[in-house]
Amino acid sequence: MEIANNKNIYQVTSSDYPLSCPGKNMSKSESHPKIFIKLDKKGEGVCPYCGAIYRAHHNT
């Protein structure tokens, strides 16, 4: 999982699945109950607790 240019936007690949938030690379200050993130048809998911955005990054 890589952090994109914007804060709290994470580029994820298939090796990151299943997605959960908070992620292992997040600081303790971003801690909240662990939930699993489901990506929509556009390949994007949002954490309802902290607003972190997860975007599928397709390797080409």
**Those residues with Cβ within 8 angstroms of residue 11's Cβ, 6 or more apart along the chain or in another chain:** 1, 2, 3, 4, 55, 56, 57
Instruction: Answer with the residue of higher pLDDT: 27 or 59.
Output: 27
Total structural domains within the chain: 1
**Is residue 5 pLDDT above 60, yes or no?**
no
pLDDT in tens, 28-56: 666 789 999 999 999 999 999 989 999 99
Question: What's the domain range around 35?
Answer: 2-56
CB 55 within 8 A of CB 46: no
Q: How far apart are CA 28 and CA 11, in angstroms?
A: 20
